[in-house]
Amino acid sequence: MIGAIEILIIALIFGIIYGRDAIDKTFRKSANEGVVESLAGDLKEYYDADPKRMIKLSALIIGTVVFLVTGAYWAITRTDFLKMIGLNQ
């Protein structure tokens, strides 16, 4: 069990280091603009390159949200989750 925890810590450190590099390379944020302005510019470029990709991306996001809400509903209604957190007797 100690080995698994060490591996997870190492993976977390590498994820932080390389994730930050990937974010910096992906989003071209200028020093004088906020995060939302930068994201809006990136999404505009993404849409201009291929409008159908934005529709697919939107469908993926909506599908993911629906899947997570359905899973949460199932977990609350079909398991003893409410009893475990003390909301139901």
Q: Is residue 5 part of a domain?
A: no
Q: Find the angle CA(61)-CA(67)-CA(69) to the nearest 5 degrees.
A: 105
Q: Which residues contact 39 (CB under 8 A, 6 or more apart)?
A: 27
Q: Is residue 26 part of a domain?
A: no
pLDDT band at 22 (very low <50, low <70, confident <90, very high): low
- Domain residues for 74? 50-89
Q: Is residue 19 part of a domain?
A: no
Count of domains for the chain: 1
Contact predicate 14/4, CB 8 Å: no
pLDDT for 8 equals 84
CA distances from 58 to 13, 23, 30, 71, 83 (A): 31, 21, 26, 20, 36
Q: What is the mean pLDDT of the chain?
A: 77
> What is the reported pTM?
0.48
